[in-house]
Structure 1
Amino acid sequence: MAQRLNRSCLSHLAGAVQGPAYDPTHLVAGVVHIGIGAFHRAHQAVYVDACLAEGDASWGIIGVSLRSSAMRDALAPQDCLYTLAERDGSGETLKVIGSVMKVLVAPEDPQVVLAAMSSPQTRIVTLTVTEKAYPRNADGTLNVQDRTVAADLANPDRPTGILGFLTEALARRRADGTPPFTVLSCDNLPANGKTLRGLVTEFATLRDRELGRYIEQNVAFPSSMVDRIVPATTDADRERVAQALGVEDAWPVVTEPFMQWVVEDNFPMGRPAWERHGVEMVADVAPFEEMKLRLLNGAHSAIAYAGQLLGHETVADAFADPLIHGFVKGLWRESARTLSGDAGLKPDEYMERLADRFANPALRHRTAQIANDGSQKLPQRFINPMLELQDAGEDAAHLAAGVALWIAALADRGEPPAFSDPLDEALKAAIAKTTSPADTVAAVLQAARFDRVDRYLPAVTKAYQRISDDGISAPLALYAQGEFPQ
């Protein structure tokens, strides 16, 4: 077996591969990150790595997995080092990242996780746990019927979910006289900081009214917007990276050169000097977040569902299809009309850059990967902008068709399904019971628990009916030409 990547081999990495410009053994853990996966390691951990290289060793990262031990098992033998591989049409550059100090597996020992979060050295807790890990009702309030919520309220000292861990750690810090850490959500949610603040406060209040009041008054929950395309790592990626490094890396991350992070600057306990490395520290993240959710993430979902229906495995393959490309351009025009006109967003430039990124042939970003969890993603990406346009008396045909594409892809998944959804059981039951396209749309939208369904049900039904009658290609051709199926 080839040698594994670890600290002992950093001095003789092959070729022009960069290693950490600091000693990873001298780091102090200032950040606990919950939900350590490919995206965090290709994004926030990279920004922290750049800050550590400037000499501030107090911002090392302790990663936490809420479910699987796979990441810990892959990284622990490597001293938690891993390779960042940036790829585009011109080639690939490799860099070894050293900002992650250790990975904890919460189900194995929640007390170790709580101890890390409660440590006075920890000043920031960040999260990338995906939209579905936020236990919310349709109106954004806490879903007290959620099994994890109920279990963590019943056993506060043995949490399993994000709200339980955050609340218990903050309670312990309060009891010890330690100032609270800042909680920074990096998930694709509108107003993610405000959303998480509301959920944690509501959860804590159910535990202890005084604790809820303390968190509401003393804990900072800045919002953030993150952007980088990070496909799932493949065995081919591992083999290619190992050949370039001269040592094995069990879990490198592959990504594009582009990277963006916009963060509300509210960190009472201090923060890394992220702005020195391209992070935009702002007073209001909302306009940037909305542009990313509606233009990048919305287009990604449309590409994923249309790509699944037309047999395209990757984003680059799907975006090269003139039918999908034309549809996305129309979708962008609609969604861009809902963005703030006075926040300096430059949506035209942003869409041009997105087109280049989607066409990157070096990234094998699978449409099935993006298609996951549609019931959690579509409100921010399609439904909210569609409602805004409809309420303003404007057309939203492409956005309605985006929802119809999701329903069509759900109905066409086969067995085993190519992608999944946290509401799969309800969605499959809804589709199985219907006998007409109109019934299918109504049943799926109801099962997905979307807001104000009656407002856009006719538009989505019209789009889905045409897909059911004529297949996917003919309607997409009309949308690409600016003509909407009747």
Structure 2
Amino acid sequence: MLHLGLGSFHRAHQALYLHQLQQAGDRSWVLAGGNIRPDMADTMAALIQQNGAYTLETVTPQGERTYTRITSIQTVVPHDPALSGLVQLGADANTRIISFTVTEAGYYLDAQDRLDLDFVDLQADVQALKAGGAGSTIYGALTAILRARMQAQAGAVTLLNCDNLRHNGDRSRSGLLQFIELLGDTALLAWVQTHTSSPNAMVDRITPRPTPDVRARVLAATGVDDAAALMGESFIQWVIEDRFVAGRPAWERVGVEMVDSVQAYEEAKIRLLNATHSCIAWAGTLVGYTYIHEGTQDARIRRMAFDYVTDDVIPVLDTPEHPSPINLAQYRDVVLDRFGNPAIADTNQRVAMDGFSKIPGFIAPTIRERLAHGDSIASVAMLPALFLAYLQRWHTGQIHYTYQDQAMDPAVAHAICEAADPVAAFCADATLWGPLANHPRLVAALRTASARVAQFVKDAAP
């Protein structure tokens, strides 16, 4: 199994599940991994030096900590611009699954799931692959790997998403096929359609960026000075559609849910967890908090998150015609308890990023479905109103950390904030809203919600 993106999430999630399977006696699968961009240099160097092994600290909501030495990553691939190590492994017949973790913006898909070629790095990858090279996007990397695999006649392989994109297997596959079509490589296009599958999957575990404190605690608890140590919450979940074309690990032995469709799990997670997470990060930043647990423990912010889920999300995800297989009210409460865990020390900076992907991906679907039924959107409107207020702070240089947003055009964002009517300009943005842009009920709800946000910030001022 070759994984692209050896970040904290993969190492606290997929690598742990495979480690547990190996510890249970099934060693038929191992992991290899590397990055398609030259990031995380210190962590990658540490993993290479430690032969892929590292320590995972797990923290319960009650603050209990446990330590596990993870050894499932057998090969760590150093980065090079040609991705030669990843391509070589991906073209090996023994590699049966290529998995990857990508941010929402890293798929470069517009509201109609078409590749958005306005992105310079995507354009660069098209040119690089036309010239027979590799790339720095997920499509450029996968295309280089799959082209080499086809040429090596290495057989079928499953492409497995491990990220928060809704319908991630279907949509990444669509993006990949569109990318190959742009290259005019008809032979590769036919091969990928015949020799790969792309199951949808839902993943869940809060995994903050590791801080020096984690390394210090690991050393104190285990005696190992681990430069690749990381920490995650005790909660963990992985739901995968069982559509693998070249075999798979027996993950069900270690708690992975193998299902026919992930859709209900996916919608619950994206709307009840991911959107709520963003709500708390934006609101918390606006009133000066650094960490997610601080905002979650603030009764006003917790109420915003609670009302958003209770008033507007649960009614569209659990209906008499389509009852949810999940107890959504219970799930909501578990999520808020998880977010309130101070031991996680997850930052608003990490969770607040990529708002221009999260509004259309996590929040707009609930607004669209509520409007379609003529229902109120008062509670869900608070989330984009919080993001607009956050964006206005960013515009004036008042966010005390660096805001990262791969899908945002800074010039467009600044123009929204400078407009005579920022709410109307915000609601008119097609990247954020797609077909909902300029909807009169959206604009009206955002005006009311923005006034509530302004009052919330004013009340919180010292």
TM-score normalised to structure 1 length? 0.86
* Number of residue equivalences: 443
Whichever residue aligns with residue 233 of structure 1, its letter is P
In structure 2, the gaps of 5 or more residues are none
**Structure 2 partner of 1:21:** none
> Does 1:290 pair with 2:257?
no
Q: Is the 8 A contact 2:364 2:433 kept in 1?
A: no
Give the Cα separation in 2 of the matches to 1:80 and 1:318.
36
> Does 1:396 pair with 2:380?
no
Whichever residue aligns with residue 48 of structure 2, its letter is A
**Structure 2 partner of 1:78:** 50
Aligned with residue 225 of structure 2, among 233, 238, 248: 248
Q: Is the 8 A contact 1:205 1:213 kept in 2?
A: no
Q: Is the 8 A contact 1:294 1:380 kept in 2?
A: no
> Does 1:138 pair with 2:138?
no
Give the Cα separation in 1 of the matches to 2:166 and 2:236.
19
Structural mapping, 1:438-477, within 5 Å: 438-439=423-424, 441-442=426-427, 445-446=429-430, 448=432, 450-455=434-439, 456-468=442-454, 470-472=455-457
**Structure 2 partner of 1:377:** 358
**Structure 1 partner of 2:124:** 151
Structural mapping, 1:5-404, within 5 Å: 31-67=1-37, 68=39, 69-88=41-60, 89-156=62-129, 157-160=132-135, 161-207=137-183, 208-333=185-310, 334-340=312-318, 341-404=322-385
| Distance change (3 Å), C-alpha of 1:180 and 1:199 | same
Give the Cα separation in 2 of the matches to 1:109 and 1:55.
37
Whichever residue aligns with residue 47 of structure 1, its letter is Y
| Distance change (3 Å), C-alpha of 1:387 and 1:447 | closer
In structure 1, the gaps of 5 or more residues are 1-30, 476-486
Give the Cα separation in 2 of the matches to 1:58 and 1:260.
22
Whichever residue aligns with residue 462 of structure 1, its letter is T
Question: 1:424: how far off?
Answer: 5.0
Which range moves more in the overlay, 268-277 or 162-171?
162-171
CA RMSD across the alignment = 2.0
Give the Cα separation in 2 of the matches to 1:436 and 1:135.
29
Which range moves more in the overlay, 342-351 or 141-150?
141-150
Structure 1 residues 141-176: Cα deviation after superposition (integer angstroms, max 9, x where no partner): 112343333223222232122112212222222222
Which range moves more in the overlay, 396-405 or 415-424?
415-424
Whichever residue aligns with residue 353 of structure 2, its letter is N
SS in 1 for 2:187: helix
| Distance change (3 Å), C-alpha of 1:260 and 1:99 | same
Question: 1:471: how far off?
Answer: 4.8
Which range moves more in the overlay, 286-295 or 313-322?
313-322
SS in 1 for 2:109: coil
Q: Is the 8 A contact 2:239 2:258 kept in 1?
A: yes
Q: Is the 8 A contact 2:292 2:348 kept in 1?
A: yes
Whichever residue aligns with residue 112 of structure 1, its letter is G
Question: 1:52: how far off?
Answer: 1.6
Q: Is the 8 A contact 1:204 1:212 kept in 2?
A: yes
Question: 1:474: how far off?
Answer: 5.6
| Distance change (3 Å), C-alpha of 1:96 and 1:314 | same
Give the Cα separation in 1 of the matches to 2:228 and 2:18.
19
SS in 2 for 1:125: strand
Which range moves more in the overlay, 449-458 or 164-173?
449-458
Give the Cα separation in 2 of the matches to 1:442 and 1:223.
31
Give the Cα separation in 2 of the matches to 1:113 and 1:396.
46
Give the Cα separation in 2 of the matches to 1:45 and 1:287.
25
Q: Is the 8 A contact 1:125 1:183 kept in 2?
A: yes
Q: Is the 8 A contact 1:437 1:465 kept in 2?
A: no
Give the Cα separation in 1 of the matches to 2:79 and 2:118.
22
Whichever residue aligns with residue 151 of structure 2, its letter is A
Give the Cα separation in 1 of the matches to 2:134 and 2:121.
8
Structure 1 residues 69-102: Cα deviation after superposition (integer angstroms, max 9, x where no partner): 3331121122221111011224200000001123
Q: Is the 8 A contact 2:316 2:370 kept in 1?
A: yes
Q: Is the 8 A contact 2:157 2:195 kept in 1?
A: no
TM-score normalised to structure 2 length? 0.91
Q: Is the 8 A contact 1:71 1:103 kept in 2?
A: no
